């Protein structure tokens, strides 16, 4: 059951004590069992999930950018447990146009809203070609039910989750200060699918910032962390 925020404060005292309480900051890797099936949606160069290959995990890397796919294929060509899907995910199968930041391809996006946000002047944006769209449901039909779905798609997270019709394993998705309303929508979608426990990490750290809480309490704590300058991170649900 989710830990209530009030009960957690009783254990750790003030909010500052709570944020510093390492007892409730386990390594994110603890959520991945040996041999797990991982979907890496928005794989980029595979940095977040490739560390689990030494546990015998099977990883499906979903990446629509040709330049990133070339890197991934070269990097993981000897790994039989890695599969590549040269596409993006959305609410339904089809096509979508990608907006590419050539100097920093890690922020390329299918979301016009994202492109016009904090990175609007950080790169030279190019309206790229249309890329193939699949759905999470379609990926599950092909590979089986995943133990962890990691979603990092630069503002397109809600569309990705719209293509999922049932609860699966743990799901994580990126949040940011300027698009937190969309993150609330993602969390609500997962709640509707049956996810009841949530936690989060900030700025790419390998440790959770809280225990597993309810959706409402997790979002409230994230808002406080944003005010303290932790403006982006990942929300996890199970």
Higher pLDDT, 120 or 7: 120
- pLDDT tens, position by position, 203-226: 888 889 999 999 999 999 999 888
Contact assessment for residue 9 and residue 148, using Cβ atoms and an 8 Å cutoff: no
Question: Greater confidence, 40 or 112?
Answer: 40
Q: Is the per-residue pLDDT at 25 higher than 70?
A: no
Nearest to 171 by CA among 159, 161, 156, 180: 161
What lies within 8 Å, CB to CB, of 57 at 6+ separation is: 32, 34, 35, 36, 37, 38, 49, 81
pLDDT band at 27 (very low <50, low <70, confident <90, very high): confident
- Give the residue-averaged pLDDT of 157-162: 96
Dist. CA 138–CA 159, nearest whole Å: 14
Query: Among residues of the chain, what percentage have pLDDT more than 70?
Result: 85
The predicted structure's pLDDT at residue 224? 87
CB of 44 within 8 A of CB of 100? no
- Name the pLDDT band for 22 (thresholds 50, 70, 90): very low
Mean pLDDT of 77-104: 91
The 3 state secondary structure assigned to 95-141 is EEEEEEECCCHHHCECCHHHHCCCCCCCCCEEEEEEEEEECHHHHHH
pLDDT digits (tens, 9 = 90+) for 185-194: 999 999 999 9
pLDDT in tens, 97-138: 988 876 777 778 888 877 777 666 766 777 778 999 999 999
Query: Domains, the chain, ranges and CATH?
Result: 5-87+140-237 (3.40.50.150)
**16 pLDDT band (50/70/90 cuts)?**
very low
What is the model's pLDDT at position 206? Answer: 87
- Asked which of 29-38, 48-57, 78-87, 119-128 is least confident by mean pLDDT, the reply is 119-128
């Amino acid at each position: 059951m989710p830990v209530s925020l009030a009960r957690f404060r009783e254990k750790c005292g003030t909010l500052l004590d709570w944020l510093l309480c390492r007892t409730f900051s386990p390594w994110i890797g603890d959520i991945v069992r040996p041999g797990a099936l991982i979907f890496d949606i928005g794989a980029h160069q595979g940095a977040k999930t490739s560390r689990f290959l030494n546990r015998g995990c099977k990883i499906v890397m979903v990446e629509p950018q040709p330049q990133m796919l070339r890197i991934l294929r070269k990097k993981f060509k000897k790994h039989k447990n890695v599969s590549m899907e040269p596409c993006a995910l959305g609410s339904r199968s089809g096509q979508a146009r990608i907006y590419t930041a050539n100097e920093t391809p890690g922020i390329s996006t299918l979301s016009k809203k994202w492109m016009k946000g904090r990175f609007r002047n950080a790169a030279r944006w190019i309206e790229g070609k249309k890329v193939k769209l699949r759905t999470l449901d379609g990926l599950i039909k092909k590979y089986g039910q995943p133990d962890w779905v990691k979603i990092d798609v630069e503002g397109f997270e809600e569309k990705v989750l719209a293509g999922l019709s049932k609860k699966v394993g743990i799901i994580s998705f990126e949040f940011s200060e300027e698009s937190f309303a969309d993150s609330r929508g993602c969390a609500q979608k997962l709640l509707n699918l049956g996810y009841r426990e949530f936690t989060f990490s900030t700025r790419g750290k390998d440790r959770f910032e809280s225990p597993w809480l309810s959706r409402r309490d997790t979002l409230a704590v994230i808002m406080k962390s944003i005010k303290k300058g932790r403006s982006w991170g990942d929300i996890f649900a199970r």
